[in-house]
Amino acid sequence: MSEAAVRAGWEVVIGLEIHAQLATKSKIFSGSATAYGAAPNTQASLVDLGYPGTLPVLNREAVRMAVKFGLATGATIAPRSIFARKNYFYPDLPKGYQISQYERPVVEDGSIEILLDDGAKKTIGITRAHLEEDAGKSLHEGLANSSGIDLNRAGTPLLEIVSEPDLRSAKEAIAYLKKVHTLVRYLEICDGNMQEGSFRCDANVSVRRLGKTEFGTRCEIKNVNSFRFVEKAINYEVERQIDVLEGGGSIVQETRLYDSAKDETRSMRSKEEANDYRYFPDPDLLPLAIDAALIDAVRSTLPELPDEKAARFMLHYGLSAYDAGVLTASRELADYYETAVREVGGGGASAKLAANWVMGDFAAFLNRDGLEVGSARVPAAALAGLLRRIQDETISGKIAKEVFELMWADAASADAVIEAKGLKQITDSGAIESAIEAVMAANPKQLAEYRSGKDKLFGFFVGQTMKATQGKANPAQLNELLKKKLAGP
Amino acid sequence: MSLTRRDVEGIAHLARLEITEGELPVYVDSLSKILSFVEQLNAAQTASVEPMAHPLEGEVQRLRADEVSERDAHLKYQANAPLVSAALYVVPKVIE
Amino acid sequence: MSIHLRSVAELAAGLQSREFSAVELARHFLARIDKENGALNAFVTVTPERALADAARADAVRAAGKAGPLTGIPLAHKDIFCTDGIKTSCGSKMLDNFVAPYDATVVARLGAAGTVMLGKTNMDEFAMGSSNETSYYGPVRNPWDRSKVPGGSSGGSAAAVAARLAPVATGTDTGGSIRQPAALVGISGLKPTYGRVSRYGMIAFASSLDQAGILAPSAEDCALLFAAMAGFDERDSTSVDAPVPDYVAALGAPLKGLRIGVLKEFFSEGLDSATGALVEAGIAQLRALGAEIAAVSCPNLPLSVPTYYVVAPAECSSNLSRFDGVRFGHRCERPRDLMDLYKRSRGEGFGAEVKRRIMTGTYVLSAGYYDAYYLKAQKVRSLITADFRRAFAEVDLLAGPTSPTPAFAIGAKVDDPITMYLNDIYTIGANLAGLPAMSVPCGFVGGLPVGLQLIGPHFGEARLLTAAHAYQRETDFHRRVPAAYA
C-alpha cells in the first residue's frame, strides 16, 4: 500500500520502540556469555536465574555502547541515570522483575535524519534510549499443554530506543528503522540480526482526522521481525483503525501481534489487563555516573557516521544522494566500494562505474547467495581489476557481466577469466569489417530494405554482427564501421 | 486507610498470592491497620526533600569489565528445579 | 571452665595450646546441640559431617603452622545465608526443599578463616518478624525462659549462642533482627554500616536495609568474627570499597573523652520502666568509664517505624517475586495453568506475615499510591538520616535501649501486626540511615535480659566495639548463662 492510498481525511501517527541487543561478550549484570545458539540454559548463571541471594553488577561495555549511540544521535547523555525495577510475573522473567531504566534513562533527546522516497529529508526525534536486561524465551514444540523456558537470553543487554511519534507513514517508519539499523551496525554496538532477534521493533500506531492535534488511541504491534513485515503490519493496522473509526466505533488501547501468514494484526489472546509495573529504583544498583572523561573516550571511538560518509561520497565521488545512501547502508559495503574505486584509479567516471557495479551485479550476487560483504566471492581489488578492463576497452560492459559471473563462481581474477575464455574485445577494424561483410552477404533482403530507408534494421545488423563475433566486437567501432559499410560503396 | 475486599483481592492478584475466602477478611483487617499506621508519615514536611533510595550517599555504580566469567553449570543449578525437560524449565503453557 | 562457657578468644587459645583439638571442640558443641536443641528449636539443620570435616581441616591447618585467630572456631549460620550443598530454608516452606548451589560471601570468608559450621539456625520466615514466631519450623524459645520468645528475626542464632550451643553465630539485621534478639537473650550483637559486609548469597528481604552481622556473648567475640567478614565484595554493587580497620587491635582503647549522646526520642512512653532504668544504669557506667554524656535529639525518629513499614515491604514484595515455583523452591501440585502455578505455589509456600508484607509492599508501589507512600517514606528516610548526621556532629556515639520490653510470651503479640512492629522502635532508625549499631547486655528484669544499644556514625564499628568492650570489662552481664545451659 503506497502513501497515496492512505484514506482521505486521515493522518497516521507512528512511534517505534526498538530493542537492540548490545554486542557485548557478557551479559549486562552477570558474567555469562551472550553468544547466540547455545544449548538451552547453558548460558544462565545463578544471577541470570534469579537465584536467592544473587546480585547484579553492571557491564562497562554496555554503558559505553549506550553512550556511543547517544553521541551518534546528538542526544543528551545523563550524568546520573538510575536503574529501576519493572515488576511483573512471566516465566521468562526469572526475578519477577526486569532491571530497566524508568524516570532517568542514560540517553535522551536525540534525533536521526531519514531520506524519504522523494529525496526530501526528515528529522525524527529520539525521545530516549535506555539500558535494560532481556528476558529468556518460551518454547512450545513437543510439550503438550506446557512450555519450556530457556534462560540463555535472560540478562543479555538491550538498548531500548524510543522514537518521538514523528512518523507519518509506514514508509517513513521503515526508513527510520533502516537508518537506526544501519547506525547501530556502524557503531558496532549491535549486529542487527532480526532473524536471531538481536534487533526487534514494536510499533505504536494511531490515526487521527487530518487537522486534529490530539493523538488518537494507539495500539502497539509487537515483535515483528523483518522490515517487510513491519511495513505490512503497520499498513494493515492503519486500515483496521480507520475502518473501526469510520464505522462509528472506537479504538481499544491494546497490544496486538502481527500474523505474517494472514497479513493481519490481532489482539493478544491473553486479554491484557493494564499492567501495573510498580517501577521503583533498584536498591541493588547505585546511580550510573557518566563523566566527561568517559564520554570523551567513547567519542574518540566513533567511526565516520552514515550521514557523514554519504555526504562525503556525494562530494568526493560525485554520486547522487540515492546512490550514496545505498552504498553507505553498511560500513562493509562502503569500505568495499571505496577500496574498489581506489584500486581502479582514474577520476569521476571510475567512481560512477564502480557505484553502478557495486549496487548492481555485486549486490545481486551477494543477495542470490545469501552472503555478507565480508564473504563476497569477488573481493574489492578483483572487481577493480574487472572495471579497469572495461575502461581500457579490453572487454565491453556486456561481456564484463559474463566475466563477473565466472569470477564469482571460480573466485578468479578478471584477467584470468578473460584469457581462459578468450573474451577479449575485438578492436581490429579489419576483423570487424570482415564480420560485417559476412553478415551483409548473408542477409541481402534486410540489406536492401535498409538501403531503401528502413533505418530500424540497423539494430538487426548490430545484433547479427555481435553474434558473429561472440559479442566481442567493440561496440563503438562496430557502430561506426557498420554505418559506413551499410551506407554503401 | 481502610481497604475493601476488592482492594485486597486486587493486590493479591498483582502479587500472585492465593488468598482463601476465610483468609480474606483477616488480611483486609491487618492491611488496613498497617496502612493506617503508616499514614503518620503524612505529618512530615518533605516538600523540598530528596527521596533516599539507599544509604550510600555519593557512591556510584561500579562498572564491571566485559568478560565471560561464568561456565555452564546447568546440571547443578537444575537440581533444585521442580520440573525440567531437556534442560528446559517446564511450566503450564504460556499463551501469547 | 566448661568449654562452652569460654569466649572465642579463650577457645582460640585452647586450640592453640592443644588443650583440645578442633574436632573435639566440634564434637562438644554437636553433643550439646543434640541434647538441648529439641527444647529450644534454635537449629533448622545441624551439619555434623560438615562440622567434623571443617574441624579436621582446621586441625591440619594448625598442624602445618598456618592457623589464624578463627581456625577451628565453631559457629552457626542463620539459615538466610546460602551454604553450598546444604539446605537453606530462610525459615520458610517455600525453601524447605532448597539446597543452595553456592556459598554466600560471608560463609565463604568465615570458612576460609577456618571456622567450623555446626548448622543453620532458625529464623523468622524470610527475616520478617521480631520474635521468631513466623518460622515454618516453629518458634524458637528463649533459653532464659522457654515460654518466652528469643526475639527475631535472628532468633535461632541468638538462642543458640545464649544457650552456648555455639560460641558465635551469624545473623542479619534489617530493622533490628540482630540487636533485638541479642538484647532479649542477653548476648552481644553487631549490625555493621550498610555496605560494610557483602550481601551476596544472603537471601534478600529489604535490599537497602539488610546487613549481615554477628551474635556472640561479647563485643570482643564479635570483633574477632567481624574482622573476617567485613570488606569489599565485587559481586555486591552496594558493597563499599573502603579499607577495613583492625577492629581487634582497636578494642583496648580507653573511653575517656568519648562523647555519648542520649536520644530524647528513645526515652518515650513505650519504654518499659524497669528496662529504661537498666539502660540508664548502663549509660551511667559509661560515664564512670570516662565518657561524656550529652542529651541529643533526632526529631524525626518517631517516624522510623512507619517509614520502615513502607520501604521494607516495598522492597521485599519485589525481592520475593522470584519465588514462583519455576526454577527452585516450592511448587504446587498439578497446576491448572500458569496463574494457578504462581498463586498456589506462592500461597502455599509463604506464611501469613510474609504475605502480609508482600501485599503491603505491592500496594505502596502501585499506580496512584507510589508518591503518597513509597516516595514519601523515602523522603522521611532522608530526614531521619539528616537528623543522625546532625547528632553525630555533636557526639561520637548514641546510646539507648535496644528493645522497649524484655522478652514477651510466645503467642502474646501474634494477633496484632502493629504491636509486633513496635518492638523495633529503637532499632529501625539505624537501618534506615545505614548506621552501625550494637546491643550489649546491661542487666535483668524479672530474670529476663535487657540490652543497651549503641549506634555509631558510618564506618564507626571500631568505636562501637571499643566502647562496648570497655563496658564489658567492667560488667559481667555478657558472661551470664541460664543455669540450665551452664
Chain A residue with the nearest C-alpha to that of B67: A26
3-state class of C99 per DSSP? strand
Residue A344 near residue A384, CB atoms below 8 Å: yes
pLDDT at A269: 55
Q: Is the pLDDT of residue C349 over 50?
A: yes
Residue A311 to residues A11, A70, A156, A319: CA-CA distances in angstroms? Answer: 32, 21, 35, 9
Report the alpha-carbon distance of residue A393 to residue A425 in Å, rounded.
7
Categorize the per-residue pLDDT at C377 as very low, low, confident or very high, splitting at 50, 70 and 90: very high
Distance of CA C366 to the CA centre of its chain: 31
Within 13 Å of residue A72, how many CA atoms lie on the same side as its CB?
Answer: 28
Q: Does A311 touch chain B (CB under 8 A)?
A: no
Report the alpha-carbon distance of residue A285 to residue C238 in Å, rounded.
7
Q: Which residue has the cell 541479642?
A: C182
Residue A443 near residue A464, CB atoms below 8 Å: yes
Residue from A354, A302, A308 nearest A333 by CA: A354
B58: CB partners within 8 A, 6+ apart: none
Mean pLDDT across chain C: 96
Going from N- to C-terminal start, the domains of chain B cover 5-42
Residue from C333, C208, C319, C338 nearest A51 by CA: C319
Beta strand pairing status for B88-92 and C43-46?
unpaired
Report the alpha-carbon distance of residue C446 to residue A77 in Å, rounded.
63
Report the alpha-carbon distance of residue A362 to residue A356 in Å, rounded.
9
Report the alpha-carbon distance of residue A388 to residue A413 in Å, rounded.
12
Which DSSP helix (H) or strand (E) runs through A446? helix A444-451
What are the pLDDT digits (tens) for C181-240?
999 999 999 999 999 999 999 999 999 999 999 999 999 999 999 999 999 999 999 999
Q: Is the pLDDT of residue C38 over 70?
A: yes
Report the alpha-carbon distance of residue B80 to residue C261 in Å, rounded.
50
C216: CB partners within 8 A, 6+ apart: C8, C161, C167, C168, C169, C187, C188, C189, C222, C225
Report the alpha-carbon distance of residue C215 to residue C449 in Å, rounded.
15
Q: Quick check: is C239 catalytic?
A: no
C175 lies in a domain? yes
Residue from A300, A310, A328, A22 nearest A161 by CA: A22
Report the alpha-carbon distance of residue A177 to residue A194 in Å, rounded.
12
Mean pLDDT value across residues C239-246: 96
C131 lies in a domain? yes
Q: CATH number, domain at C230? A: 3.90.1300.10
Name the grid cell of B41. 508519615
Q: How many CB atoms lie within 10 A of CB C392?
A: 21
Q: Does B35 touch chain C (CB under 8 A)?
A: yes
Name the grid cell of A450. 535498409
Tell me which amino acid residue A175 is. A
Chain B residue with the nearest C-alpha to that of A35: B68
Does the domain made of B5-42 have the CATH classification 1.10.3470? Answer: no
Phi-psi group of A223: left, alpha or beta (phi > 0 → left; psi -120 to 50 → alpha; rest → beta): left
Q: How many CB atoms lie within 10 A of CB C96?
A: 16
For residue C380, give the nearest of B30, B46, B53 by CB distance.
B46
Q: Per-block average pLDDT, block size 10, for chain A (489 residues)?
A: 63 96 98 96 98 98 98 97 97 98 96 90 97 95 87 98 96 96 97 94 94 92 90 94 93 90 81 77 97 97 96 94 92 95 87 95 94 93 94 87 94 90 83 90 90 89 89 87 84
For residue C203, give the nearest of A52, A96, A276 by CB distance.
A52
C215 lies in a domain? yes
Q: Quick check: is C153 catalytic?
A: yes
Distance from CA of B84 to the nearest CA of A (A): 8
Chain C residue with the nearest C-alpha to that of A93: C322
Q: Does A221 touch chain B (CB under 8 A)?
A: no
pLDDT at A273: 58
**C21, C78, C93, C413: which is the annotated catalytic residue?**
C78
Beta strand pairing status for A219-224 and A255-259?
parallel
Report the alpha-carbon distance of residue A228 to residue A391 in Å, rounded.
38
What are the pLDDT digits (tens) for C399-441?
999 999 999 999 998 778 888 888 899 999 999 999 999 999 9
What are the pLDDT digits (tens) for A316-362?
999 998 899 999 999 999 999 999 999 998 778 899 999 999 999 99
Residue C62 near residue C22, CB atoms below 8 Å: yes
List chains touching A (3+ CB pairs under 8 A).
B, C
Q: What is the DSSP letter of C246?
A: -
What are the pLDDT digits (tens) for C158-184?
999 999 999 999 999 999 999 999 999
C370 lies in a domain? no
3-state class of A179 per DSSP? helix
Q: How many CB atoms lie within 10 A of CB C24?
A: 15
Name the grid cell of C373. 507512600
What residue numbers bound the domain in which C164 lies? 3-253+437-485
Any idea how long chain B is? 96
Q: Tell me the DSSP string of A269-331.
A: SS--PPP----EE-TTSPPEE--HHHHHHHHTT----HHHHHHHHHHHH---HHHHHHHTSSH
Q: Do A91 and C321 touch (CB under 8 A)?
A: no
3-state class of C265 per DSSP? helix
Beta strand pairing status for C397-401 and C259-263?
parallel
For residue A278, give the nearest of C203, C338, C365 by CB distance.
C365
- Strands (E) across C289-417 are located at 292-296, 397-401
Residue A130 to residues A65, A427, B17: CA-CA distances in angstroms? Answer: 11, 64, 32
Q: Do A55 and C200 touch (CB under 8 A)?
A: yes
C56 lies in a domain? yes
Distance from CA of C95 to the nearest CA of A (A): 10
What are the pLDDT digits (tens) for A183-221?
999 999 999 999 999 999 999 999 999 989 999 999 999
Name the grid cell of C448. 529476663
- Strands (E) across C195-273 are located at 211-216, 259-263
Q: Does A409 touch chain C (CB under 8 A)?
A: no
C41 lies in a domain? yes
Q: What is the DSSP letter of C374?
A: I
Q: Quick check: is C177 catalytic?
A: yes
Report the alpha-carbon distance of residue C229 to residue C105 in Å, rounded.
8
C45: CB partners within 8 A, 6+ apart: C79, C86, C87, C89, C119, C120
